[in-house]
């Protein structure tokens, strides 16, 4: 049997598991190359205080149905699941019984690309959502901050081929972000699988 390295992240009010080797190195390389080429990467813009800003990353939304997904004031219309994303939902079944209808793909082109502090707590995700986040490419720092207890923080390095599972009350009590970095880093793809309840 394949040996998997599960790490339970010990944080109050959270249920977070990190699997360093969800994908083997070779599998992860293949997914990275193909997804980079084949996903329909789009630049989106957000309005902040009346000013329009390009999001500091590219995104693509995929789903098994045609429900749109709204997050940080932006409604995205999904493309039909790419076969490789479908494969990954099958592989996730070995880890969690949670169904996943949608995959939000993010491409961080370099260290200037980032994602601001937020929780994945949109109404259509329901209570205590399970979010399965797969990382490919450059290792980047992922930071968690408790909403109430400001001294409660945790940095995690998300590695090529890894899976981060956030479940239980995590989104209720914690925010997370992917900060920019001045380090020279290559591109990174992150895939967050979510279950959208209609
Ligand atoms: O890139 C990451 O690891 C985080 C992505 C994320 O938080 C999201 O898509 O909601
Ligand atoms: Fe998130």
Q: Is the pLDDT of residue 172 over 50?
A: yes
**Ligand lying nearest the CA atom of residue 174:** 2
**113-157 pLDDT per residue, tens:** 999 999 999 999 999 999 999 999 999 999 999 999 999 999 999
Answer yes or no: are the C-beta atoms of 112 and 78 closer than 8 Å.
Answer: no
Cα–Cα distances in angstroms (integers) from residue 193 to residues 105, 152, 182, in the given order: 9, 26, 28
Q: How far is CA 176 from the centre of its chain?
A: 10
Q: Is 39 exposed, middle or buried (0-12, 13-18, 19+ CB in 10 A)?
A: buried
Give the SS3 label for residue 73. coil
Residues with CB under 5 A from ligand 2 (ion): 120
Ligand 1 touching residue 76 (CB < 6 A): no
> Probe ligand 1: pick from 119, 142, 192, max atoms within 8 Å of CB?
192
Residues 6+ apart with CB under 8 A from 35: 82, 84, 105, 136, 189, 191
**How confident is residue 2, by pLDDT bands cut at 50, 70 and 90?**
low
Average pLDDT value over all residues in the chain: 94
Sheet order of strands, 188-194 included: 6-9, 15-19, 162-167, 131-137, 188-194, 102-108, 58-63, 79-80
**Ligand lying nearest the CA atom of residue 159:** 1
> Probe ligand 1: pick from 56, 107, 115, 193, max atoms within 8 Å of CB?
115
Q: How far apart are the first and last CA of the chain?
A: 38
Q: How many of the other CB atoms lie within 10 Å of CB of 184? A: 8
**Ligand lying nearest the CA atom of residue 115:** 1
Q: Is the pLDDT of residue 3 over 60?
A: yes
> What average pLDDT score do residues 67-83 get?
85
**How confident is residue 77, by pLDDT bands cut at 50, 70 and 90?**
confident
Question: Which domains, ranges and CATH numbers included, belong to the chain?
Answer: 6-194 (2.60.120.590)
Q: Is the pLDDT of residue 1 over 50?
A: no
**19-66 pLDDT per residue, tens:** 999 999 999 999 999 999 999 999 999 888 899 999 999 999 999 987
> What average pLDDT score do residues 80-86 get?
96
Percent of the chain past pLDDT 90, that is, above it, reads 86
Give the SS3 label for residue 192. strand
> What average pLDDT score do residues 11-23 get?
97
> What average pLDDT score do residues 85-93 get?
98
């Amino acid at each position: 049997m394949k040996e998997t390295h599960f790490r339970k992240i010990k944080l109050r009010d959270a249920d977070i598991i990190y699997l360093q080797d969800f994908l083997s190195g070779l599998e992860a390389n293949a997914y990275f190359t193909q997804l980079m080429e084949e996903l329909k990467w789009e630049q989106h813009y957000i309005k902040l205080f009346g000013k329009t800003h390009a999001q500091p990353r590219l995104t693509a939304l995929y789903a098994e149905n045609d429900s749109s997904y709204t997050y940080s004031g932006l409604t995205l219309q999904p493309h039909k699941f790419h076969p490789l994303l479908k494969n990954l939902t099958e592989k996730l079944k070995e880890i969690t019984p949670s169904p996943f209808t949608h995959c939000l793909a993010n491409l961080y082109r370099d260290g200037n690309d980032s994602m601001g502090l937020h929780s994945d707590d949109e109404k259509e995700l329901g209570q205590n959502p399970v979010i399965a986040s797969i990382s490919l490419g450059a290792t980047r720092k992922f930071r968690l901050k408790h909403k109430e207890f400001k001294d409660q923080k945790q940095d995690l390095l998300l590695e090529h081929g890894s899976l981060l599972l956030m479940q239980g009350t995590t989104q209720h009590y914690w925010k997370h972000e992917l900060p920019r970095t001045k380090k020279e880093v290559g591109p990174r793809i992150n895939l967050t699988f979510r279950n959208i309840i209609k």
